[in-house]
Amino acid sequence: MEKRTLGTSLEVSAIGFGCMGLSFGYNRTSPIERADAIVLLRQTAEAGVTFFDTAEVYGPWTNEELLGEALAPFRGKVVIATKFGFDIDPGATPPMKGLDSRPETIRKVAEASCKRLGVDCLDLFYQHRVDPAVPIEDVAGTVGDLVREGKVRHFGLSEAGVDTIRRAHAVHPVAALQSEYSLWTRDVEKEVLPTCKELGIGFVPFSPLGKGFLTGTIEAGKQFGEGDIRTAIPRFQGDAYDHNLALVRLLQDVAAEKQATPGQIALAWVMAQGPSIVPIPGTTKAHRMRENTAAAAITLSADDLKRIAQAVDNIGVMGERYPAAALQMVQK
C-alpha cells in the first residue's frame, strides 16, 4: 500500500485502522469475540495496513491489551497510536468521568500503555481531548520530555482548535492532529487543515465513513445494540436521517461510475484532500476491512472532487455530529 508521512518523519500506510469499535463505543449486545478480533487485526496488518489507532479509554484498557497481543508478531513493522487525557471510571458507562492531562497523569498513562501494548516506546501519543485546566504548554512539554527519554516517539493532539495547535507545536512538534472528518463533517476545512498544512502536521480523520452512515448499509429505523453511541447522535435520528440519505445517494452514483462502493468513494474523497491525510476507518468484519484498504487505489479526478463538493454543499447536513455533552469537549 502507498505510504504517507505524518509530521516530518512518521511514515504510515495511506489508510490506517481505527480499533475503538473492537472494544468500545458500538454494539455491546453482540460484540466481536476477542479471538476473532485478533484474527482481524492480523489480517489487516497482512493486507498492508501499518497504522493502528487505540486509546486507554477504549474498554477501558482492553483495546490496548488486544492490540498488544494481536500485533506482537508485527512488532517493528507497524505504528500504534494511543491516547491520554481522560479521568477514567471503569465501572461507569461511558467510563470518562472528565478530563485529566496533568503531567503526572500523562507519565502514568504512558507507562501503563507501554505495558498493555507490549512495547518499550509509544509510536504516537495523542492528547485525547484538550483539558482546559492544564496549559497546553505543560502537556506538550511533558510529552516532549517523554520523547527525549525514549518513551514516546511522536506527539499528537485530538479535536484541538487552531490556537491550541499553535501553542503546543511551539513547545514540541506536533506530528499529527486527529479529528472527525468526512463528507458530512467538514468543520476542519476552514482553519484546522490549513494550519496543519502550514505547520507540517499530519491529519488523521476518524469516522471518515460517518460512523458507517456513508457506506449506505445502515437502514432507516435500525435499532443499534446496547451501548452503541449512534443511538444518541442527532444525525442518525428521524428527519435528519432521511435528509442525510441524499449524501449516500450521491456516493452511490459516483461509486457506480468508478466500479467501487460508496464507502470507498467516501474514503478516496478524504484522502484526496491532502497528501498528509491518513483516515482510520474501523470495522469488525474482514470483508469490510479489505474494502476499505482497497480505497487507497481509487483516484478521483479534479472534476469528480468538484462535483462531489458542490453536491454536498447543496444537500447540507442535518443534525449535530455529537450529543451536546460530547460537543462541549471539542475545541472550536
Alpha-carbon span 163 to 183, nearest angstrom: 25
Alpha-carbon span 330 to 332, nearest angstrom: 6
DSSP 8-state code for residue 187:
G
Alpha-carbon span 179 to 83, nearest angstrom: 13
Count the neighbouring beta carbons within 10 Å of the beta carbon of residue 25: 19
Q: How many angstroms separate the Cα of 93 from the Cα of each of 33, 59, 289, 304? A: 20, 10, 28, 42
Secondary structure class of 185 (helix, strand, coil): strand
Alpha-carbon span 3 to 125, nearest angstrom: 20
Cell of 45: 496488518
**Opening angle at CA 211, ends 207 and 216, nearest 5:** 120
Query: Of 26, 58, 181, 322, which is the active-site residue?
Result: 58
To the query of whether residue 322 is one of the catalytic residues in this protein, the response is no
User: Do residues 61 and 90 make contact, with C-beta atoms less than 8 angstroms apart?
Assistant: yes
User: Residue 122: which H helix or E strand, with range?
Assistant: strand 122-127
Count the neighbouring beta carbons within 10 Å of the beta carbon of residue 142: 25
Nearby residues of 44 by Cβ (< 8 Å), 6 or more positions away: 17, 52, 289, 293
Cell of 219: 437502514
Q: Known catalytic residues? A: 58
